Amino acid sequence: MRLNTIITLGASAAFGLMAVFLARGWINGAVENEFRETRSVLTPHKAPIQNTVPVLVADIDFQFGDIISKDAIKIAQFPEDAVPFENFTSFEDIMGYDPNTPQTIIALTSIRKNEPILPHKISGPNGKGSLSARIKPGYRAASIRVDAVTGVSGFVVPGDIVDIIYTAMPSPDDKTQNYKSDILLQSIQVLGIDQNQSDETSRASLAKTVTLEVSHSEAQRLAVATQSGHLSLILRSLGETTPATTQSVTTAHLTHKPTRKSQSYPRVSSKPRPKITPKADAHNVAQITIIRGEATESVSVLSEGKDDTPPALLSTKDLVGG
């Protein structure tokens, strides 16, 4: 083989290998650039860091009457714009600043784990889980007697909103025994059923007494109504507190039926019909009066008489039948 041929083949092989390496490098670079661009698009942008505030939350589930200890609560960081109103920020705020004087804090309602501890859900220092701690300022707790019927078959539980019906007893002198019913109070919150104050109760149970949250004047009205008549509860829909328009209902309303309107007919005029006297005309013509209801009409007809004597004229009395 000639030397020129060998040199040509060697050069071709060298250029071929160089082209392979260059192509491989170019492809790897293109793939890497594309991967970097794709990764930068898919990588989410980090949200700006927000300021946080320490908030005291429950570390376990609390029920009504449970003692809140330091071991059962913890500090959680809340975003500054999501901090609950009137929250506690430290253990001292709720447990007291003096470690030598332990204080008892009671849960007045159910508090779930990781739920913020708020003032209206707990008692004050050395408080207790009593009903008085749950009554809103300016209100009172008053109890009424109920049974299976007046207590809505036991389906009323603490925390529900009810209306109260007052049924007045008839007077002894009333021979018709006319009862009267009125809506005495509306949108009244139930604080307790018998001795049960927990708002977590969901099972229906027949009760003998129901404790209601009322104002001072409403408590007086309940006391008078209890002595003078019967009280019944009406359970409202969940979340409905708007007062409704009411009216008194008596025994007469139960048997009262709306009267049907009588069918009206056109009145017949009692005006006397006018007396019409036909006029005499030519010998061969006679006047006849036609009466249709109240309308009258006079027409002329040919007479069938053979002589020249004018026919006798009919009177209005003869036309109407005498």
**Region for residue 121 given its phi and psi (left: phi exceeds 0; alpha: psi -120 to 50; beta: otherwise):** alpha
Query: What is the SS3 string spanning 180-232?
Result: EEEEEEEEEEEEEECCECCCCCCCCCCCCEEEEEECHHHHHHHHHHHHHEEEE
Pairing state between β 180-193 and 209-214: antiparallel
For residues 79 and 246, give the distance between their C-alpha atoms in angstroms, rounded to a whole number.
Answer: 48
Lowest model confidence (mean pLDDT) among 179-183, 187-191, 270-274, 310-314: 310-314
Q: Any idea which of 8-17, 31-40, 286-295, 301-310 has the lowest mean pLDDT?
A: 301-310
Bridge partner list, 229: 168
- Judge contact between 104 and 128, C-beta under 8 A: yes
At 280, which amino acid appears?
A
What top-level class would CATH report for the domain 52-131? alpha beta
- Domain definitions of the chain by residue range: 52-131, 138-253, 285-319
The answer to whether 243 and 186 have CB atoms below 8 angstroms apart is yes
Structure tokens at 157: 């539980």
- The per-residue pLDDT for 322 is 42
Neighbours of 188 (CB within 10 A): 23
CA atoms within 13 Å, Cβ hemisphere of 77: 4
- Return the SS3 of 103: coil
pLDDT at 85 over 50: yes
Model confidence, pTM: 0.49
Question: What does the block give as tokens for 154?
Answer: 């036991």
Is the model's pLDDT at 235 over the cut of 70?
A: yes
Q: Are 124 and 94 in contact (CB under 8 A)?
A: no
